[in-house]
Amino acid sequence: MGRSRGAMAALLVLALSCAGEDGRNDVAAGDSRLSDTPLELSTDGLLDRTAADCDLGADTPPDAGMDVIADDQAAEVVPPPCKEPDVAVPVPVEPDETFDLGPYLMSPSSTSMSVMWRTLEATDSLVHFGKDEALDRQVGQLAAVTVHEIVLDGLEPDTRYTYQVESGGAKSQIHHFTTAPDPAQPVRFAHFSDNQNGPEVFAQHVTAMAAWGPDLLVGSGDHVQAGLEEPLWKEQLFGPGRGLFHEVPLQLAMGNHEENSPFYYDLMSNPHPADHPEWESLYGFRFGNTYFLMINTNYFLCPIGEVELPDGQRMRELAESPEAQSATWRIALGHENAVSECWGDGDCGYDGTLCVRNYVVPMLADRGFHFYLSGHTHAYERGQVGNLVHLIAGGGGGSLDAWCKDWPQTGVVHTAHHHLRFEAGCQTLRMEAVDLAGTVFDWVELDKDAPGILKDEGPIPDLPPPSLNSDR
């Protein structure tokens, strides 16, 4: 939403310490241990606070599940060893249309979550939340806005929270989320791309992804058909995804169809430096044992001769960052792909993006990335570049492409709508590609100690014939 996580954290610290000089700092903060009565708006529109309400700064809950070894000088935090995941739990999908968009969840971490929603009229923002089924804490701001973002901070890892948002006196239904686990712990995530002008198909993916039970949703772009057409963000993305987005955080890369639209930046909350708002679409984040690098392939990513351009440098530095390199699994997402065997009407007017083929994907492979998840081509294609699995998974809803040429790097091609699901375990990373019938038509397993593909299986026989894409 155009603000860095650091900036938002600073906002919250300000809120928790009630530091506003004029009493108008726009945030109300409640805590079950300190404030049994919810904070309320007074008649002058300011937030009523008691002295106890303002004494919250030193009361942030500690990171649960972390062993702290203290010595005389410093405390060293040692994360617990990796524990293989429990069985996935389906996510209930109950679309709540109290507000224009959302509420939806972004910028997840083990200790924080951004709650976002959009209202038709500019109003205040308040989130009631708490552990398990409680709603005993509140964070909000009085500033009248239509796109609301409230950061819930000081949360406990791998913990289920209940929340409800309130604006202009209207309250949403009750929803839930679970924070990311500690850095060594397994996660499940689902991937979709190129849903764009196929919201009915995308809605089927949403239902299927929810029934599986992901911890996180990620996407490789073209999530709307024309990013500058504001209504499409609701019609094609936030509408069909609404019920799932209430409960599971979402992080999206930008495709060409987003058109670098200001609506992307308004509606997203991606970590980025405060002095580089454009890098809200070129960012990375850690979620449990997995690092995600979200690449905007509309940017100039490739060096010119020996000269590295700023966006390319940003991408490379994220790939090399300790946050990425310390992860068990490294997943990069970008919209355009390196090599494409399918294209509209089988004409091969596009067969991959040169910069992604010659620089981006080899650079990621050299830095130990396990997957490059792309779209742009509306088909499923799996290949390998070095030890990196190159996937095109552009089957989110846009009309399908047809096969037109062979690339030696690509071993599996399937022309059907699909999404992906990943289990990033302690030792193995399993990817499954799922069609609209719920059939796993391709899967791969990687072992963290054995570079490249450990096991895989190609597409099922008797594939449906491709439909030709004349509506790109």
Contact residues toward Fe ion (CB under 5 A) are: 194, 222, 398
Task: Decide whether 128 or 223 has the Cβ nearer to Fe ion.
Answer: 223
Helices (H) and strands (E) in the chain, counts: 9, 24
State in angstroms the smallest separation of the CB of 339 from Fe ion.
Answer: 16
Rounded CA-CA distance 193/209 in Å is: 13
Residue located via tokens 């609209």: 436
Task: Decide whether 215 or 222 has the Cβ nearer to Fe ion.
Answer: 222
Q: Is residue 452 within 8 Å of residue 387, measured between CB atoms? A: yes
Rounded CA-CA distance 393/49 in Å is: 51
Task: Decide whether 263 or 291 has the Cβ nearer to Fe ion.
Answer: 263
State in angstroms the smallest separation of the CB of 375 from Fe ion.
Answer: 6
Residue 104 bridge partners (DSSP): 116
| Torsions phi, psi for 122 (to 5 deg) | -70, 125
Q: In angstroms, what CA-CA distances link 238 with 129, 226, 264, 419, 437?
A: 22, 14, 12, 17, 23
Residue at 174: amino acid letter = I
Distant-in-sequence, close-in-space partners of 95: CB < 8 Å, separation ≥ 6: 242, 243, 246
State in angstroms the smallest separation of the CB of 460 from Fe ion.
Answer: 25
Q: Which residue is nearest to Fe ion (CB)?
A: 222
State in angstroms the smallest separation of the CB of 377 from Fe ion.
Answer: 8
> DSSP string covering 62-98, please?
P-TT-EEEE-SS-EEEEPPPP-------PPP-----S
Task: Decide whether 147 or 400 has the Cβ nearer to Fe ion.
Answer: 400
- Please give the structure tokens belonging to residue 314: 């940003």
Distant-in-sequence, close-in-space partners of 465: CB < 8 Å, separation ≥ 6: none
State in angstroms the smallest separation of the CB of 199 from Fe ion.
Answer: 14
Task: Decide whether 174 or 226 has the Cβ nearer to Fe ion.
Answer: 226
State in angstroms the smallest separation of the CB of 206 from Fe ion.
Answer: 18
Write the secondary structure of 121-179 as one string of H (helix), E (strand) and C (coil).
EEEEEEEEEEECCCCCEEEEEEEEEEEEEEEECCCCCCCEEEEEEEECCEECCCEEEEC
Rounded CA-CA distance 52/30 in Å is: 10
Task: Decide whether 153 or 222 has the Cβ nearer to Fe ion.
Answer: 222
Task: Decide whether 319 or 355 has the Cβ nearer to Fe ion.
Answer: 355
Task: Decide whether 222 or 311 has the Cβ nearer to Fe ion.
Answer: 222
State in angstroms the smallest separation of the CB of 272 from Fe ion.
Answer: 24
Task: Decide whether 222 or 351 has the Cβ nearer to Fe ion.
Answer: 222
State in angstroms the smallest separation of the CB of 350 from Fe ion.
Answer: 11
Rounded CA-CA distance 281/446 in Å is: 28
- Please give the structure tokens belonging to residue 356: 């992604």
State in angstroms the smallest separation of the CB of 175 from Fe ion.
Answer: 30
State in angstroms the smallest separation of the CB of 137 from Fe ion.
Answer: 41
> DSSP string covering 324-365, please?
HHTSSEEEEEESS-S--SEEGGG--S----HHIIIIIHHHHH
CA atoms within 13 A on the CB side of 92: 7
Task: Decide whether 150 or 433 has the Cβ nearer to Fe ion.
Answer: 433
State in angstroms the smallest separation of the CB of 194 from Fe ion.
Answer: 4
Task: Decide whether 289 or 399 has the Cβ nearer to Fe ion.
Answer: 399
Q: Is residue 305 within 8 Å of residue 313, measured between CB atoms? A: no
